[in-house]
Structure 1
Amino acid sequence: MNKKITLLFLFVIAVSFGQRKAIADKYYNEYSYKKSAELYEKIFNKGDDSYEVLSRLGDSYYYNSDFTASEKWYKELFKRHEAITNSEYIFKYAQSLKSNGKIEESDKWLLKLKAKNKYNSSVRSLQDNLNYFVEYTQKKKVFVSINNLSINTKYSDFGGFVFNDDFYFASTKPDGVNDKRLYKWNNQPHLNIYKAKEIFKIKEKVLDVEEQVKVASVSSKYHESNAIITSNGNIMYFTRTNFDGKKLKGGDDEVAHLKIYKTDKIDGEWGNAIELPFNNDNYSVGHPALSVDEKVLYFVSDMPNGFGLTDVYKVNILDNNTFSTPENLGKNINTEGREMFPFIDSEGTLYFASDGHLGLGALDIFEAKKERDIYTKPVNLGAPINGAYDDFSFIINNKRNNGFFSSNRKKGKGDDDIYSFIVYKCKEDVSGVVYEAKTNKPLNNVTVKLISEEGVIVAEKTTNKDGSYSFELVECEKNFTVTASKNDYKKDEKTAKTLDVNKQLITQNLQLVPLIIENQIVINPIYFDFDKHNIRNDAAKELAHIVSVMENHPKMIIKIESHTDSRGKKEYNRSLSDRRAKSTKEYIVSKGILSSRIQSAIGYGEGQLLNDCYDDKLNKCSKEEHQKNRRSYFYILKK
């Protein structure tokens, strides 16, 4: 009797347990991830650690961007079922780790996809650039004044499109109409489209929006989002859940997918919305974007035969409100993961969000330039636009140098928030005057170069009559070298560091020392090692000026005189100075100057001292006084 009672009790538990799992599966298949996560966790705590429960538990948190929880459950999945776990979960686990700041561990797991023969875009990019994380987080300053908009709520606010001064976005915040109808994915109200006014807060130096109102004429009981408007203001495209005005319509999988709708403005109001002909009940089509000429409509879809979970497509907008067959943008843009939220700026650049291209975690924003009707390899925008969590829905106004993007990054106000940014356009001028060092008079026709830290000539100018030069619109926060050169003068150079103040003037004056003074080519003293006459490196640099002057004046003839101080025997000093003079001549000739252009090279020893440091005062003179007598002269005999 006791055995029968026990068996009956176990049967009741099994039925109850099976019912609970069936309910969890139902919520999961309906994308009700908040509820499915709660139920699967209870099932796991009751002892079911199966592959299905653990994978779906991890997914339920992953798809709601709770990466701490998804990491925990994917880790449990690999701990118990790694041998049968497919590559999809390796990727999701790697993404969860990265979003939680565990970069090295994430990269190790991502590279495991090689063993699965899954050379996806992230793996290839990682192999090509193992230093990507530093590169992406230390990007050149482009986007500044990142601002969490004042309209953001504790709910999901995202998207963005600017028409004139109006900013269109989507939000799940309660609107007093359908507040009780919650979207099962995240237990929030359904999305509605709102319109607000762009403002620039001068004091805070940030872009913001205000005066938001719901666009009621395109609202339904379910989702509307991603509104865009043609330049004439007469047509709106937007995304809506497949709703026929009475009920949701499901496909073969009994799931209501997304569709793109179009509405025309009639008498100042948006009319009835009609769905576009390439929509389909069995897959989603959404996130519309227009080309610059508004003849091409871009969108996102998970239609069959794509490259990944969702891809970016395009259709040509034809006459009579017809459209061409959808065309996939190809594997250069689309990956095995998700590509979403396309946007085309005024220069034809494509921006989109992706978790398939190598990034900083979850969805990152990328840009792809268009060349000959083909988009180039996407480039990660890097920080501060991208971070560890989802970053998406990027738009930019090239004329106003600002824009918006959405993110569920930490320290936001809600689930998803909208952020504004300013494009960093800091430019400064570098200018100055070039003087002659001896007379302090301005020098004209001097070549002035602005050289970057990498040694690249950024700009080149010639000084005006008043000796002035100016380099306009130089990048801020850079180190440069300014060089000035002119025939028969020693080159001068100085560093110039631009600041972080727009339209700042950086002044850098330079001086050129003349090489020809009266009947001499004048250089700094050339030195020789004790008792030696070979040309040292420092002497070679000075003699280069002699070579330069003689090259500038092909008919010039000179003579060389060398002198010593009074220390040592007179005959020895004469011989030493003569060897040094002739060594100097030989060096100049070795640089291409004809020997016949140097009439003589003679050493005079201590015979022509410039001070009183004669033999009787030898020990009374300082080193500096003796050094003054050790010199060479380069006299010009014929110009």
Structure 2
Amino acid sequence: MKTVISSILCTLFAIAICNAQDKKVEKAGDKFDSFAYAGAIDDYESLVEKGYTDEQIFKNLGDANYKNADYDVAADWYSRLFKLEGITVDPDYMYRYAQSLKSNEEYEAARAWMQKYEEAKASDRRAKVSKANPDYLEKIKARSGRYEVKSLSVNSPQSDFAPSFDGDNLVFSTARDSGITSKRVHLWNNSAFLNLYSATPDASGEYTNASKLSNALNKKTHESSTAFTKDGTTVYFTRNNSNNGRFSRDDAGVSRLKIYRANLDNGNWTNIIELPFNDDSYSAAHPTLSPDESKLYFASDMLGSVGQSDIFVVDLHSDGSIGVPKNLGNEINTEGRETFPYVTDENVLYFASDGHPGLGGLDVFATSIKDLDNLYIINVGKPINSEEDDFSFIINEETKKGFFASNREGGQGGDDIYAFTENDPIDLVCHTMVKGTVTDDETGNPMGNAKVAIFNRNAELVSETLSNADGSFMLEGDCKDGSYKVVATKEEYNDGDTAFEVVGANNTEDVEVRLKKTIKQADEGTDLIAFLKLEPVYFDLDKADIRPDASRTMTAVIEYMNTFPDIKVQVQSHTDAKASTGYNSGLSKRRAKNTVAYLIANGIDASRVSGEGFGESQLTNECNTRESCPDERHQENRRSEFIVVR
């Protein structure tokens, strides 16, 4: 009886333990789902230490660290996830794993996982661009080294980011503890809520001291990412959902980001309002103004987004009203994160992305938006970009000086602001190259001096050149994604073409264009053997049978007659001079008859072909007696020819 009771107690105890563990997993999941990543990480790691392993735990631990930019830790959890047996994991985890590996500079491993991602999600723009740019690291390296970068002394041990220009002042967002915010900790990363600060340069141009902006702008919420008008009287900024100035969540436990506008009146920020396109169902953040201040660019995951966050633009009307946001399109936006836009006076858009090929985490990219239908997007390279998150890039194009934020090693806090000077201007003109060869379709020999041109899908000429003596050519192609065609032309040849695709401004190599000789209609009296440069149809001594080696010539004659269905041909057959004249006449007629029969049997209408035997009367050489030549010379006369008679 004691044994039975003991067993029951053990079973109940085990059930209690399981229930307790299930509750811990559920609690950690609730924190993760409500974006309390710091707490979720602690709870999940505690469970793993106790031997609790599960697919969803590894997924959430990877994602929580990924979203907190702890990419080395994220890579470890993703690695454990993919080592689990018998599971099928969404390809997006492959992508985040590859990105995390890049941040550890494990580029070969990252490339291997990106290839798996490309195969699993071939229609994804990130997969297409990655596949089209296997040499992206070389491209980034070629664009690197154009900036001088230094850290700012105004940085704190906390997170400092989102710099913006307010005249000569530098305004930025920071999680530093101002003395009254120590209890206001955000659960995403256990850091203090963000506030807006401003720093004024000293006589040497250095930013050493910063002070908090007006309490009218800084509430008990996150504030970040400002955009000031040139006259300094209006500011657009980002703030979390709030309830009477306090941090607020929706029914799902999510606090969305919204863009606000404020006006400066007698030194005070007033008339603080939400922009009308904000909504509790999505976030809108990180505003920046166009050069003429008629448009506002921002990041959002609103309806119509391609990925986790996209860049949008909205019109700002002179009467103060605001238009309907428009997505900038899937050339800029990917299935990943595109965020922190900044537009220069020359309409160059800088933005951060982890969807375009980069070094790891968020990288800074640039493109001219003067023509949204013809975009060329480039990674600005090192030292702006690193293996970690690099973002919130701004620049004064006149002074070539600017700022950006990064969580790279060597900083004071989680994110630090860095100043930079641009020494070499950014080149936003696309330079894709198309390389290939022009060859003869029949012989495979290279063809020099052929005209080679690229046409787009609308049959518009992109560029043209002439092939070199070795048949090679190199052309500058169009950078816009789409289908293109290389067309080669040369006198006495039919035009040839080869199609290719451009994705992500990729170079195209090993294009081969093969040209076929132009077939012209022969004049009356022409021997097709000579005209088509064919071997004659030869016969064995004292034979009239068509030999196997004649098939190539016969096929070429048949194809020619099919190409020009109006012509008629007379087969003229001949012999050598070894037999009598009378015998040779009959032998040549039999040869003509068999040659004609071969053509008819292979589809040539009998009305289009006739035959005539000429015996030894039309020798091709001096072998006019049996003894005058060896047999290989007599062979030259035992033949059939094909003469155009109409």
The TM-score bracket by the shorter chain reads 0.5 to 0.7
C-alpha distance in structure 2 between counterparts of 1:88 and 1:423, whole Å? 35
How far has the Cα of 1:183 moved from its partner?
0.7
- Give the alignment's TM-score, normalised by structure 2: 0.63
In structure 2, the residue matched to 1:15 is 19
C-alpha distance in structure 2 between counterparts of 1:271 and 1:194, whole Å? 18
In structure 2, the residue matched to 1:347 is 346
Residue identity matched to 2:54: S
Residue identity matched to 2:163: G
The equivalent position to 1:212 in structure 2, one of 210, 214, 220, is: 210
The equivalent position to 1:123 in structure 2, one of 127, 139, 157, is: 127
Contact 2:155 2:417 in 1 (8 A): yes
- Give the alignment's TM-score, normalised by structure 1: 0.64
How far has the Cα of 1:273 moved from its partner?
1.5
In structure 1, the residue matched to 2:64 is 60
Contact 2:316 2:322 in 1 (8 A): yes
In structure 1, the residue matched to 2:261 is 262
In structure 2, the residue matched to 1:178 is 181
The equivalent position to 1:164 in structure 2, one of 154, 163, 167, is: 167
The gaps in structure 1 that reach 5 residues or longer are 202-206, 427-639
Post-superposition Cα deviations, 1:316-340, rounded to whole Å, max 9, x if no partner, equal 0124321111100000100000000
In structure 1, the residue matched to 2:52 is 48
In structure 2, the residue matched to 1:580 is none
How far has the Cα of 1:370 moved from its partner?
2.3
CA, structure 1 residues 121+143, in 2 after alignment: closer, same or farther (shift >3 Å)? farther
Matches within 5 A, 1:564-579: none
Could you tell me the percent identity over the aligned residues? 36
Residue identity matched to 1:29: D
In structure 2, the residue matched to 1:32 is 36
In structure 1, the residue matched to 2:199 is 196
Q: Secondary structure at the match of 1:98?
A: helix
Post-superposition Cα deviations, 1:375-425, rounded to whole Å, max 9, x if no partner, equal 612110011111100000000001111000100011111100000001115
Question: What root-mean-square deviation, in Å, do the aligned CA atoms of Structure 1 and Structure 2 show?
Answer: 1.7
Contact 1:138 1:383 in 2 (8 A): no
How far has the Cα of 1:89 moved from its partner?
0.2
C-alpha distance in structure 2 between counterparts of 1:37 and 1:88, whole Å? 20
CA, structure 1 residues 269+215, in 2 after alignment: closer, same or farther (shift >3 Å)? same
In structure 2, the residue matched to 1:467 is none
Contact 1:315 1:325 in 2 (8 A): yes
How far has the Cα of 1:163 moved from its partner?
1.9
C-alpha distance in structure 1 between counterparts of 2:147 and 2:325, whole Å? 34
In structure 2, the residue matched to 1:150 is 153
Contact 1:113 1:119 in 2 (8 A): no
Contact 1:333 1:375 in 2 (8 A): no
Residue identity matched to 1:197: T
How far has the Cα of 1:209 moved from its partner?
1.3
C-alpha distance in structure 1 between counterparts of 2:185 and 2:144, whole Å? 42
Post-superposition Cα deviations, 1:427-471, rounded to whole Å, max 9, x if no partner, equal xxxxxxxxxxxxxxxxxxxxxxxxxxxxxxxxxxxxxxxxxxxxx
CA, structure 1 residues 117+68, in 2 after alignment: closer, same or farther (shift >3 Å)? closer
C-alpha distance in structure 2 between counterparts of 1:196 and 1:374, whole Å? 39
Residue identity matched to 1:320: D
Matches within 5 A, 1:478-627: none
C-alpha distance in structure 2 between counterparts of 1:136 and 1:337, whole Å? 20
How far has the Cα of 1:246 moved from its partner?
5.0
How far has the Cα of 1:198 moved from its partner?
3.0
Contact 1:361 1:390 in 2 (8 A): yes
- 2:379 matched to 1:392? no
Post-superposition Cα deviations, 1:56-87, rounded to whole Å, max 9, x if no partner, equal 01111111111121111100100005741011
Contact 1:97 1:103 in 2 (8 A): yes
C-alpha distance in structure 2 between counterparts of 1:44 and 1:395, whole Å? 42
Residue identity matched to 2:209: E
In structure 2, the residue matched to 1:280 is 279
Contact 1:220 1:245 in 2 (8 A): no
Post-superposition Cα deviations, 1:201-229, rounded to whole Å, max 9, x if no partner, equal 5xxxxx64133110023110110001111
C-alpha distance in structure 1 between counterparts of 2:127 and 2:247, whole Å? 40
C-alpha distance in structure 2 between counterparts of 1:252 and 1:297, whole Å? 29
In structure 2, the residue matched to 1:332 is 331
Contact 2:167 2:232 in 1 (8 A): no
In structure 1, the residue matched to 2:112 is 108
- Number of corresponding residues: 420
Residue identity matched to 2:211: V
Contact 1:253 1:282 in 2 (8 A): no
Contact 2:260 2:274 in 1 (8 A): yes
Which sits farther off after the overlay, 125-134 or 215-224?
125-134
Q: Secondary structure at the match of 2:143?
A: coil
The gaps in structure 2 that reach 5 residues or longer are 426-646
Q: Secondary structure at the match of 2:145?
A: coil
C-alpha distance in structure 1 between counterparts of 2:331 and 2:97, whole Å? 24
Contact 1:287 1:340 in 2 (8 A): yes
C-alpha distance in structure 2 between counterparts of 1:375 and 1:313, whole Å? 17
Which sits farther off after the overlay, 79-88 or 337-346?
79-88
Post-superposition Cα deviations, 1:343-390, rounded to whole Å, max 9, x if no partner, equal 001101000000000101010000011233546121100111111000
Residue identity matched to 2:117: L
Residue identity matched to 1:4: I
- 2:99 matched to 1:95? yes
Contact 1:228 1:238 in 2 (8 A): yes
Post-superposition Cα deviations, 1:254-295, rounded to whole Å, max 9, x if no partner, equal 311000001111111111411111000111011001000000
C-alpha distance in structure 2 between counterparts of 1:121 and 1:379, whole Å? 16
Contact 2:240 2:258 in 1 (8 A): yes
In structure 1, the residue matched to 2:139 is 135
